Amino acid sequence: SQNVNYFIANSQYIRKRVKNCYGRDSIVIYPPVDIESFTLVEEKSDYYLAASRFVPYKKINLIVETFAKMRDKKLIVIGDGPDYNKIKQLSSDNVYLAGFVQKDEMIKIMQKAKAFVFAAEEDFGILPVEAQACGTPVIAYGKGGTIETIINGQTGIFFNEQSIECLTDAVNRFEKECLHFNPKNTRQNAERFSVERFKKEYTDFVNAKYEV
């Protein structure tokens, strides 16, 4: 690691980890997000959405188990994976496991969702940005890259522990505050992470260092 000329991190969260692990600084260049495909829809339906590979660290089990206890709220879950059968056993009538769906269909579901629910601790987290590009606010675990991509109280809200109690509280807080979330502002926040921005920042960085 000491022989590397320059480090690029995909979030401030990872920048800190690079510093802690390698004792080296890095520049942050956020990943590209296909916000042109995830277009704004202002009119929302009355369901929540989660989407992920069904593996333990994604915490889909936590989301499903939480909503199974809130029978008055509908949840759609997109994705599959090794934990599918375990998660299916946790679900209830108000939780629909859609399995794998094509990108176009996922976008349509995401565009109309009341909110996107995200419980994982990620380096960056592409899906929460894609949701915001659709004008859909995000209820997210407040650790990792999400605290850099979501504006608390404006484009989403955070919960501080990966627990049923904390996620339930966050959903209830969102229900009380949902009218304050503006889809256009949410979309505007996502535009900070466009493909064009990534290409420019990356190219500018490489060119500047190459000239040195």
The whole-number pLDDT of residue 87 equals 96
Q: Is the pLDDT of residue 73 over 90?
A: yes
Can you give the pLDDT at residue 96? 97
Q: Is the pLDDT of residue 83 over 90?
A: yes
Considering the entire predicted model, what is its pTM? 0.95
**Which phi and psi (to 5°) does residue 72 adopt?**
-85, 0
Q: Mean per-residue pLDDT for 132-142?
A: 98
Model pLDDT, residue 2: 86
Mean pLDDT for 58-78 is 97
- pLDDT mean over 112-131: 97
pLDDT of residue 211: 82
What is the sign, positive or negative, of the torsion defined by CA atoms of 55, 130, 45, 179? positive
Please give the pLDDT value at position 1: 83
Dist. CA 121–CA 56, nearest whole Å: 11
Tell me the two tokens of residue 169: 């509280």
Average pLDDT, the chain: 96
**Segment 154-210, tens digit of pLDDT:** 999 999 999 999 999 999 999 998 778 999 999 999 999 999 999 999 999 999 988
Query: Which run of H or E residues covers position 159?
Result: strand 156-159
State yes or no: pLDDT of 132 exceeds 80: yes
What pLDDT, on a 0 to 100 scale, did the predictor assign at position 200? 97
**Residue 59: its pLDDT value, please?**
97
Per cent of the chain over pLDDT 90 is: 95
What CA–CA distance (Å, rounded) separates 146 from 184?
A: 19
- Looking at residue 178, its pLDDT comes to 79
Distance CA 135, CA 150 (A): 12
